[in-house]
Amino acid sequence: MASKEVELRGHIIDSYILPRVWGAIEDAGARFNVREMRIGQSETETSYTRIEVVADSAEQLDELIGELQRLGALPVTERDAQTAPVTQTGVLPDDFYSTTNQPTQVRVGGRWVAVEQIEMDVAIVVERAAGRAYTRPMHDVRVGDEVVVGYEGVRVEPLERPRRREAFAFMQSAVSSERAKALAIHSVAEAMREARSHGGRILFVLGPAIVHTAAREHVAALIRRGYVQVIFGGNAIIAHDVEAALFGTSLGIDLNTGEPVEHGHRNHLRAINAVRAAGSLAAAREQGLLGDGIVATALEHGVELVLAGSIRDDGPMPGVITDSMAAQAAMRQAVRGVEVAVLAASMLHAIATGNLLPAAVKSVVVDINPAVVTKLADRGTGQALGLVTDVELFLRALADELAE
Amino acid sequence: MASKEVELRGHIIDSYILPRVWGAIEDAGARFNVREMRIGQSETETSYTRIEVVADSAEQLDELIGELQRLGALPVTERDAQTAPVTQTGVLPDDFYSTTNQPTQVRVGGRWVAVEQIEMDVAIVVERAAGRAYTRPMHDVRVGDEVVVGYEGVRVEPLERPRRREAFAFMQSAVSSERAKALAIHSVAEAMREARSHGGRILFVLGPAIVHTAAREHVAALIRRGYVQVIFGGNAIIAHDVEAALFGTSLGIDLNTGEPVEHGHRNHLRAINAVRAAGSLAAAREQGLLGDGIVATALEHGVELVLAGSIRDDGPMPGVITDSMAAQAAMRQAVRGVEVAVLAASMLHAIATGNLLPAAVKSVVVDINPAVVTKLADRGTGQALGLVTDVELFLRALADELAE
Amino acid sequence: MASKEVELRGHIIDSYILPRVWGAIEDAGARFNVREMRIGQSETETSYTRIEVVADSAEQLDELIGELQRLGALPVTERDAQTAPVTQTGVLPDDFYSTTNQPTQVRVGGRWVAVEQIEMDVAIVVERAAGRAYTRPMHDVRVGDEVVVGYEGVRVEPLERPRRREAFAFMQSAVSSERAKALAIHSVAEAMREARSHGGRILFVLGPAIVHTAAREHVAALIRRGYVQVIFGGNAIIAHDVEAALFGTSLGIDLNTGEPVEHGHRNHLRAINAVRAAGSLAAAREQGLLGDGIVATALEHGVELVLAGSIRDDGPMPGVITDSMAAQAAMRQAVRGVEVAVLAASMLHAIATGNLLPAAVKSVVVDINPAVVTKLADRGTGQALGLVTDVELFLRALADELAE
Amino acid sequence: MASKEVELRGHIIDSYILPRVWGAIEDAGARFNVREMRIGQSETETSYTRIEVVADSAEQLDELIGELQRLGALPVTERDAQTAPVTQTGVLPDDFYSTTNQPTQVRVGGRWVAVEQIEMDVAIVVERAAGRAYTRPMHDVRVGDEVVVGYEGVRVEPLERPRRREAFAFMQSAVSSERAKALAIHSVAEAMREARSHGGRILFVLGPAIVHTAAREHVAALIRRGYVQVIFGGNAIIAHDVEAALFGTSLGIDLNTGEPVEHGHRNHLRAINAVRAAGSLAAAREQGLLGDGIVATALEHGVELVLAGSIRDDGPMPGVITDSMAAQAAMRQAVRGVEVAVLAASMLHAIATGNLLPAAVKSVVVDINPAVVTKLADRGTGQALGLVTDVELFLRALADELAE
């Protein structure tokens, strides 16, 4: 038998934090006793509770306390986070703490320090002398790095349910295609406008269906209006964007008639080949190969392009990062400062990006296939607003909303 | 061993008619010998072939010849269609001929007579004295009706592949959401305009998602512009249309904010109750309950409304035909003269309508769920153009195309 | 400004009842003050709270209190339920109370009386003299019926989160195909065994894909083992079951080879015609037409068959109730005493059944299409366990589990 | 005005080759005259036709003739394939011939030479001296390689419709979940048995859902029985397989109870970390970390594992090839000798593999999501048999079929 006291503070009831904590305790087969409880007497006051958690063994208790901390509970007796040194490059200490994507602090030298560059499923490295803590993916840790182990001295601030209806208040809602989309699109536009007003970055993750459905003009318009600072994509969208510029087709389908053109299947290879001959996307643009598509407009407006390769790629296009870890690192770097993320018609890149984004980034996942949105949610990007709709419609309406 | 000669005429090679006939013979384990073959020497000339079909038994041959006739082949020795009298109300003779939805003729008194009101999966009744033949569903046949049995004296004209690209030339294309939709929408608009120019009727089959996605205004606009003569729907779309008029909600979701309203779940029941209190949709409209939605506009412009009930209905709304066979009969009556059919966001009503429509009607099935379109194709409505897209987008774009 | 006190009792925190109540108050733009709060000091003790709800107007307060009652809150000052008489057949009083599918009581003459035959979206009729209250669908109310109006004197008992992991404890979990199904199937089998042990009825709602996927033998096996007391279905499953018995095909596909057979498209019509000629399913069985399929086994074992027609039906089969309200009434009658419901590969019938089932019935929805399960949840049958899997696998595994 | 004669030989009518050729001519707005036509007089004789194709310009004619050659037509006057030298590493000559995945020959020095290692969307390199021709992906061509340009001297042998029903005869059938799966599974098993009987290799492409759905045992059983020579997969399936071995969970879900375990979200990271600490999968197996899962069994039986990385990977696992072009090269190497390919529950890897496989390989795509199968078909892997079913069921049934 082992026990420990934890505390919770904030809008812990209506944000489902306390219910989740109790549920986790029960699910673990442990017990609890409420030692203190101060309920906010109205919707503007916060609540406080102190709970004794009782488990069968110290080991089970430890596991459970760690789980509760991820939900926002905090041990009453505060201790510094424990660390262990990395002894093998790219390998973490056994009991390493694995992050969530929510704002996280670690206690270093008696002070709570915010973990820099928070993202999901990575380790926390502590520099005691500098009083700093930051995330680092497994393969990047070096011998000597001090990595947080166990759960003590770590605290997570779960996102609270917003007090009032807000732009992204419907974020948690179930995935459904049977909803009026205009409202959601309006909210996304608002969030983008807000981000731009103070220089926040906006990220677009784009799949090739954007070009197949003839929506590249809408993306270009958004770029021209200053609403896109970063684009993540793969070889395919770039190949099809150039194919559309050179031949007016996408995967061989004429974008003006919707009919396959003769030999069209070859056009995306010819497009890739042409850019390879030019040497780079920038050189291809100078030679006038890119027309007015997504890439051309992005290059013209200094949008950061992070292109990641995959095993199904033809070519690939110059500029595509073929090493997946290098590409991930470039994406990790590029999400810094991103406040709004639009993940459109892309599964692989959307999931990869979802893994890198802090929970506080306002994200919207747009796909005509509900399974894609469900999949993202299954993998932890639960904060994203999911829209099951035609991506062409979505981008056109978004560009219209942001036209003036 | 039994054999029989059949003939094929027309664009039998590039319309896949001859290949299909040969394939059917092989699949049946039978054999064939080509007795005569005149190939169109260019794309404007038609072809002709005469084939001897050889099967192991007379019975197998009969079955096979019947199959080939459905594909467009014709026995060389023409005979009148055989008929047998109905001896039990609502029950067909054992060997009854079951129709396709393609143009069909039967030989009566040595003359080929077009079968009136062709639709799928029904029987053909022959009135010899009058020299007429028409379809009749199983439950409608009466004692004494002469029903076509066997396959002799029946000929089907399969739709040929159009010579040139036409509005609905892409109808056979695979279901995919990754296509530019603007072109398809333009073709549908063209077909509707064409139909209107000579007084052809246009049918809309509508599901409740039309209202949930706030697309009712687009339907109302199409009605006002004269592009809707008939609407098929169920209790739900009418209930939600009235709910939207009375409370601004659809299934309790506020159409202006996308948020659930308090007690909104009750609004569709209140809407139904209000119309029941009024006594009829027409009376409700006179009392000003219907606002400017689909039903109000339809009533104002004399659009024929056929509302069919189902077991999941609340209420139901006055005007909903609760007997499924009576509803089917009303739909059967209403599809006469229909030249273009738009089946939007409805599965049950779309399949039911698909069963009733002749193959020559230009049909488009619109749904965000590819399974719905696939399902329609599986059930034989292969001629329909399938569009996997957001129905709200589709209807808005269609209304825009037909605005001037 | 208007205010009222409400109380909550039970596992109100970990069952998310209190958070939902607070959320609803905030969403309505109202305020609350906690007047009393006793928190269960451990997971076995229940909690109690008394809250003052403050709204801008009496009208808003009324609406909100009604909403809170549906969530399980109860006004502190108890009053009898108010009723109003029906003045027009089939039309409810304006402010009628619309039910949830959760256990509900109304206060009649100072006593709380359980509402009989609870189901979703219907009215409550009170017989004061007899001290009874029962549900009645809108179209069934008669002049003089006393129908509950407003929200006072009505109390709902929301299902609480189970204390321990139980058979259907995962019911609330998200729809996903990426789960091990064996466990869920085991739980369903357990629930069925449990129901049978004390004579509880088990309902199967079956769609035609059951026959297409060659799963009819598994259903027949479950019937023989006593695990099916009621079957709901439509014309199609019966037609295909008979087609399989007569011709070995389903919609013309040979169930042994998976290949289309010649003229197979006609087989389901011939099957329907044969039963129509026999006069009834029972007569067809006596003539040996039904083989050993679902219908034959069901008739042999006295399973109650409720067959509801729809507008897409051919025939229809004798025994199919073509009037949708009559069919609904028969289904309503047949769900009495049902404790477990398996809704397999059917959308229309599953939704219709979901509307009729009390929340306490253990329900499982099985479909390979996640959209079907999502749709059921959207319409309020949130308690159902959703399984996205191949229905043939599911039924085979279920029959195996229940074999001994 | 320009014209040229082409010939077709074989089962050109019932294999839809002639109809497709005529259709392509018409679609291009060109014309044709039939110069000679010998129709196979029965189903065992082949046919021959010689057609004059007439186009408006020599350029259009060239394009069209190229298209017809891909369909199986052959210019009457045979010439050697033309080649052009690569002048820039990784860049093809402008007019390069892009392959299909069907058997292809090029004419070199007057002789028809089979193109080695045919796959889709790559170039053909000719070594005149050696009389050889082989495929090479764009990024692999080197300065001096002689690459086929234009369409002359290239001939494609389209797969003909098989004379009789065979294992994979239903391959072209539409994707549908409403089919009996047992037959298809039996055919796949037959093909695997056949391949094994003469030493043909069998490839499994596996996605992580295999582990989530507890189907890893079935894969291991197939390996033990000798039915798996090559496995393609990504980081995730390996991570989850090891996670299952170490902790009994998959993505943190207990595979025995279906419930999330505490901290389970961390288990896949711990699994990866453990293997990284061991240094390699082989070392991890020696240390007993891998239990009896897919990887352990594969290593034990000498199955070739090609693991390709992607940007969403954690870790990654030792052995995962992070460079996408290197991974593609390894896959390209490993598909040699593959006769049967089972692509299960994987989208990215399945598409990538589909691009590499010759048309003659018997492939089956298994996924519960019809969109995945449709997507593969859209990208040209049309020969694959698509099965929409639960992958766990499929693998269990396949292992059962191949048990004795």
| Chain D nearest CA to B21, separation (Å) | 8
Q: Which of C92, C263, C312 sits opposite B351 (nearest CB)?
A: C312
Residues of A in contact with D67 (CB under 8 A): 262-263
B to C CB pairs, distance under 8 Å: 145
pLDDT at A140: 95
Q: Do D324 and A315 touch (CB under 8 A)?
A: no
In three-state form (DSSP H/G/I as H, E/B as E, the rest C), the secondary structure along B258-306 is CCECCCHHHHHHHHHHHHHHHCCHHHHHHCCCCCCCHHHHHHHCCCEEE
pLDDT at C113: 96
% pLDDT > 90, chain D = 48
Q: Measuring CA to CA, how many Å separate A2 from each of A53, A56, A65, B235?
A: 8, 6, 11, 61
Q: Alpha-carbon distance D13 to B34, whole Å? A: 13
pLDDT at D126: 97
Q: Do D256 and C183 touch (CB under 8 A)?
A: yes
| Chain C nearest CA to A248, separation (Å) | 35
pLDDT at A168: 47
Q: Which of B14, B43, B163 sits opposite D19 (nearest CB)?
A: B14
- For residues A337-355, give the mean pLDDT: 92
Pairing of strands A104-108, A111-114: antiparallel
Helix ranges (H only) for D258-320 are 267-278, 281-286, 294-300
Using the 8-state DSSP alphabet, how is residue D78 labeled? -
Q: Which residue, chain included where needed, has tokens 């109304």?
A: C106
Tokens of C67: 């909403």
Query: Is A161 a residue whose pLDDT tops 60?
Result: no
| Chain A nearest CA to D87, separation (Å) | 10
Question: Which chain A residues touch B if contact means CB-CB below 8 Å?
Answer: 165, 170, 177-184, 209, 212-214, 253, 255-259, 368-369, 388-390, 392-393
pLDDT at B260: 60
Q: Measuring CA to CA, how many Å separate D205 from each of D234, D334, D352?
A: 9, 12, 10
Across A285-294, B247-256, D102-111, D173-182, least confident range: D173-182
Residues of A in contact with B180 (CB under 8 A): 212-214, 253, 255, 258, 392
Q: Which one is predicted more confidently, B13 or C336?
A: C336
Q: Other C-beta atoms within 10 Å of A163: how many?
A: 12
Name C340's Cβ contacts closer than 8 Å, sequence gap at least 6: C188, C191, C192, C195, C200, C202, C203, C361, C362, C363
pLDDT at C181: 74
First vs last Cα of chain A: how many Å apart?
Answer: 65
User: Is the Cα torsion angle A232, A235, A236, A241 positive or negative in sign?
Assistant: positive
Tokens of B98: 């079951």
| Chain A nearest CA to B99, separation (Å) | 33
- For residues D139-153, give the mean pLDDT: 93
Beta partners for residue C216, in sequence order: none
Residues of A in contact with C39 (CB under 8 A): 34, 37, 49
Residues D237-283: pLDDT tens digits?
Answer: 999 999 999 988 877 777 766 666 656 678 889 999 999 999 999 99
pLDDT at B185: 87
What is the DSSP code string of C19-70? HHHHHHHHHTT-EEEEEEEE--SSTTS-EEEEEEEEESSHHHHHHHHHHHHH
| Closest Cα in chain A to B170 | A259
Q: Which one is predicted more confidently, B35 or A290?
A: A290
Which of the residue ranges A201-210, B13-22, D392-401 has the most confident prediction, judged by mean pLDDT? A201-210
Q: Which chains touch D (3 or more CB pairs under 8 A)?
A: A, B, C
Residues D335-377: pLDDT tens digits?
Answer: 999 999 999 988 899 989 988 988 888 889 898 877 777 777 6
Q: Quick one: pLDDT band at residue B263, thresholds 50, 70, 90?
A: low
Q: Are A49 and A12 in contact (CB under 8 A)?
A: yes
Q: Measuring CA to CA, how many Å separate A66 from each of D252, D268, D344?
A: 15, 17, 36
Question: Which chain A residues touch C if contact means CB-CB below 8 Å?
Answer: 13-16, 18-19, 22-23, 25-27, 31-34, 37, 39-43, 49, 161, 163-165, 174-176, 178, 370-371, 374, 377-378
pLDDT at A175: 45
Residues of B in contact with C64 (CB under 8 A): 262
Q: Do A180 and B392 touch (CB under 8 A)?
A: yes
Query: Is A166 a residue whose pLDDT tops 60?
Result: no
Q: Alpha-carbon distance D392 to A223, whole Å? A: 45
Across B93-107, B176-190, C61-75, C158-172, least confident range: C158-172
Query: Is A249 a residue whose pLDDT tops 90?
Result: no
Q: Do B325 and C322 touch (CB under 8 A)?
A: yes
Q: Which one is predicted more confidently, D46 or C95?
A: C95
Q: How many Å is the maximal CA-CA distance in chain A?
A: 76
Query: Is B342 a residue whose pLDDT tops 60?
Result: yes
Helix ranges (H only) for A34-178 are 58-70
| Chain C nearest CA to D102, separation (Å) | 26
| Chain C nearest CA to D329, separation (Å) | 30
Q: Quick one: pLDDT band at residue A313, thresholds 50, 70, 90?
A: very high
Question: Which chain C residues touch A if contact means CB-CB below 8 Å?
Answer: 13-16, 18-19, 22-23, 25-27, 31-34, 37, 39-43, 161, 163-165, 174-176, 178, 370-371, 374, 377-378
| Chain C nearest CA to B293, separation (Å) | 23
Tokens of D163: 């004379």
| Chain A nearest CA to B284, separation (Å) | 26
- For residues B313-339, give the mean pLDDT: 95
User: How many helices (H) does chain A have, and how many strands (E)?
Assistant: 13, 19
| Closest Cα in chain D to A150 | D263
Query: Is A382 a residue whose pLDDT tops 90?
Result: no
Q: C interface mutation test: which of D177, D187, D257 has the most C CBs within 10 A? A: D177
Query: Is A384 a residue whose pLDDT tops 80?
Result: no
| Closest Cα in chain C to B353 | C312
pLDDT at D373: 74
What are the per-10-residue average pLDDT scores of chain C (404 residues)?
88 78 81 80 79 89 85 84 96 92 92 94 95 96 95 81 42 49 85 95 94 88 97 95 89 68 75 95 95 94 97 94 96 96 92 90 86 65 72 89 86
Q: Which of A170, A253, A393 sits opposite B258 (nearest CB)?
A: A170
A to B CB pairs, distance under 8 Å: 77
Q: B interface mutation test: which of D22, D49, D165 has the most B CBs within 10 A? A: D22
Across A10-19, A380-389, B225-234, least confident range: A380-389
A to D CB pairs, distance under 8 Å: 144
Residues B277-305: pLDDT tens digits?
Answer: 999 999 999 999 998 899 999 999 999 99
Across A174-183, B95-104, B348-357, least confident range: A174-183
Beta partners for residue D133, in sequence order: D126
- The dihedral formed by the CA atoms of B11, B12, B16 and B17, expressed in degrees to the nearest 10: 130
Q: Cα D276 from chain centroid?
A: 32
Residues A95-104: pLDDT tens digits?
Answer: 999 998 889 9
pLDDT at D236: 92
- For residues B247-258, give the mean pLDDT: 74
SS3 of residue B7 by DSSP: strand
| Chain A nearest CA to D317, separation (Å) | 10
Residues D308-322: pLDDT tens digits?
Answer: 999 999 999 999 999
Q: Which of D23, D374, D377 sits opposite B14 (nearest CB)?
A: D23
Query: Is B230 a residue whose pLDDT tops 90?
Result: yes
Q: Do B371 and D374 touch (CB under 8 A)?
A: no
Residues of C in contact with D366 (CB under 8 A): none
Q: Alpha-carbon distance C235 to A394, whole Å? A: 40
- For residues A63-74, give the mean pLDDT: 84
What is the DSSP code string of A341-385? EEEES-SHHHHHHHHHS-TTSEEEEEES-HHHHHHHHHTT-TTSE
